[in-house]
Amino acid sequence: MDIADILAPQGVFQRLKAANKKKLLVDLAQRAAPLIAGKEDKIFETLWEREKLSTTGVGHGVAIPHARLPKLDRITGVFARLEDAIDFDAVDDAPVDLVFLLLTPEDAGADHLKALARISRLMRNVGMCEKLRAAPDKAALYALLTEPTATYQAA
């Protein structure tokens, strides 16, 4: 599974502004809803319930919020680079500015874990995160995230 299989160009956003984690997840749910023909309130509720279990702020300025949704027919990602980093209750207490949202069908099983692992490997790569933070626009962000030669090993 490649990132291009789950992330479309219209699912990439730059310079998002959010005051806090909850408002960011509301915003991301609104942006994801048209991509999956879903209801933004249901997407947010599912993401928020998952976030209550434990933070998806994985450290080094990165968060990977994820949720399984009923009636979703394919795995879908949304990537956002924030204008200003926010507190996300990350495991290292560092503020978050790179967010890769993952939505999977409720019955995705191992595919959910494979997609999450792929995104995690990509976002743990320090060099990749530096490039994402320096990218000038959405097209460059998408190209970096989906390039076939992207290194999926932690740097």
- Residues marked as catalytic: 66
Q: Which of 11, 4, 23, 70 is nearest to 43 (CA)?
A: 70
The full DSSP string for 5-17 is GTEEEEEEEEEE-
Handedness of CA 133, 136, 137, 141 (dihedral sign): negative
Contacts of 31 (CB under 8 A, 6+ apart): 11, 13, 78, 80
Residue 48 C-alpha from the chain's centroid: 14
**Burial (Cβ within 10 Å: 0-12, 13-18, ≥19) of residue 153:** exposed
Coil, helix or strand at residue 58 = strand
In whole angstroms, give the CA distance from residue 56 to residue 89: 8
